Structure formats: structure tokens, C-alpha cells
């Protein structure tokens, strides 16, 4: 695996801040890009992720890997040329209640394939999306911890997948390669994996067969 040393994060909400804090604890240099510009973002990072640097999208793109931690409806605000050739970790989810209508996403086989279709030239990998921001920080554990929580990683570019897996491991989770980017659909909301608590062996076993949907909850 290629171990990243610098991490760009696009999005400064709860997920982006949580990933930034984890990355800083792991010894990575972190650059966060938001929609309000570096000057405004710097004050927020000083409170929520001290040590992270505020920058523009181009600054985040210059890092070893870039995490998308913004609402999916904001994807079209990103210039694909800036992220071309970069390892882009898609931590987004399509949640209609939050996103509202997102043109074209319903026709895509998976949300990450929708992201890849917009970010032409980027090497998109799906991971970090199937547990919440609070769980990311609470459940992170050193390598070798019994029962360490596992995260699935899906992508088409082998080197990008290795980079994403190395990042997942460094942040405190066991990384499980689950297949090509299309397999990322099995990490999305309404899948058995989403918000599920699995170790490496359990998660790998789920992807050895079709991933069943989460049973519907009781009527409300």
C-alpha cells in the first residue's frame, strides 16, 4: 500500500472535521477546502480541527489523497480539471432528505459512479461513507486491536485503492477491498453494511455474496 502523508479534505462539516481530526492524530498533514474561502474556514478549523490548514480546492488536490466530505448536491461546484489524476476518496452519500433532487444521480448505478462521471480523470475510490462522523472518531483503534471495525473500499484503479486502504488503516480501521467502484453500491444507505458494525472477516464475508438490503423498520 502507498501510505499517504498529506490529506486534502473537501468539505468542512461534521464529517470533514472528524476526518481531519483523525488524520491529524495519525500524523498526516491536513488541508481542508470549503465553499466559503480559506480566510473564513481558518477560524473554524482553529476551533474544530487545530493543526489543519485551510486552503483552496487546488491546495487540497495537491495532497496525496483527497476526501470528498461535502453534500452530494455540491459536487457540481467542483472543477473536474483540478482533481484530474488525483486519488479522490468519495465519502459522500445520496440522501434525498438532505440533498434534495440531484440531477442525474438516480440514473447512475451507484453514487460513486455518478461522482466519477463528473470528476473525469480523477481516480475515485468509495470508502469512509458507511458510518457516521461520531463513530469514525469513537471507533478508531490501533492496528491489531481485537474486533477492530472494518471499512469497505471499492475502486477501479488498483493504486488508488491501495492508497485509500492505507489511509483507512492509518485512521484506525481495518480496510477491506470489496471490489470495483460499482461494488460501492453495497456501502451506500439501505445496504446491510451501512452503519453496520463488522470486523474484517465479517465484512469480507458479506461481499462474497450479494449484499442484502437492510430490512425495513417498523411502521410509524
How would you classify residue 37: left for phi > 0, otherwise alpha for psi between -120 and 50, otherwise beta?
A: left
Grid coordinates given for 37 = 474561502
Q: Which of 37, 164, 18, 7 is nearest to 90 (CA)?
A: 164
Residue 107: per-residue pLDDT:
65
Q: Which residues pair with 53 in a beta bridge?
A: 31
Averaged pLDDT, 177-196? 92
Contact 176, 204 (CB under 8 A): yes
Structure-model confidence comparison of residues 154 and 214, the more confident one: 154
Q: How confident is the model at residue 215 (pLDDT cuts 50, 70, 90)?
A: very low
pLDDT in tens, 96-131: 766 667 777 776 778 899 999 999 999 999 999 999
- DSSP readout, 32-90? EE-SS-HHHHHHHHHHHSTTPEEE-HHHHHTSSEEEE-S-GGGGGGS-HHHHTTSEEEE
Grid coordinates given for 48 = 474544530
User: 195-208: string of b/e by CB count within 10 Å (b at 16+)?
Assistant: ebebebeebbebbe
Contact 142, 25 (CB under 8 A): no
Grid coordinates given for 194 = 451501512
Residue reference for cell 445520496: 94
Report the alpha-carbon distance of residue 80 to residue 58 in Å, rounded: 11
pTM score, whole prediction:
0.90
Report the alpha-carbon distance of residue 70 to residue 72 in Å, rounded: 6
- Ordered by where they begin, the domains of the chain are 6-206 (3.40.50.720)
Residue 40: per-residue pLDDT:
81
Grid coordinates given for 59 = 491546495
Q: Looking at the predicted structure, is the pLDDT value of residue 21 above 90?
A: yes
Q: Looking at the predicted structure, is the pLDDT value of residue 32 above 90?
A: yes
Amino acid at each position: 500500500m502507498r501510505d499517504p502523508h498529506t490529506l486534502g479534505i473537501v468539505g468542512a462539516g461534521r464529517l470533514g472535521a472528524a476526518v481531519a481530526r483523525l488524520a491529524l492524530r495519525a500524523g498526516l498533514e491536513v488541508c481542508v477546502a470549503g465553499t466559503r474561502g480559506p480566510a473564513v474556514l481558518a477560524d473554524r478549523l482553529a476551533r474544530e480541527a487545530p493543526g489543519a490548514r485551510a486552503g483552496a480546492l487546488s491546495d487540497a488536490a495537491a495532497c496525496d489523497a483527497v476526501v470528498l466530505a461535502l453534500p452530494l448536491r455540491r459536487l457540481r461546484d467542483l472543477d473536474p480539471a483540478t482533481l484530474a489524476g488525483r486519488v479522490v476518496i468519495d465519502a459522500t452519500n445520496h440522501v434525498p432528505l438532505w440533498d434534495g433532487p440531484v440531477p442525474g444521480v438516480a440514473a447512475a448505478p451507484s453514487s460513486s459512479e455518478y461522482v466519477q462521471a463528473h470528476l473525469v480523470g480523477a481516480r475515485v475510490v468509495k470508502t469512509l461513507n458507511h458510518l457516521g462522523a461520531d463513530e469514525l472518531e469513537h471507533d478508531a483503534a490501533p492496528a491489531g486491536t481485537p474486533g477492530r471495525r472494518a471499512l469497505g473500499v471499492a475502486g477501479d484503479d488498483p493504486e488508488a485503492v491501495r492508497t485509500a486502504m492505507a489511509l483507512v488503516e492509518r485512521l484506525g480501521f481495518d480496510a477491506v477491498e470489496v471490489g470495483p467502484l460499482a461494488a460501492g453500491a453495497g456501502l451506500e444507505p439501505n445496504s446491510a453494511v451501512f452503519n453496520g458494525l463488522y470486523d474484517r472477516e465479517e465484512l469480507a464475508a458479506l461481499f462474497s455474496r450479494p449484499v442484502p438490503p437492510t430490512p425495513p423498520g417498523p411502521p410509524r
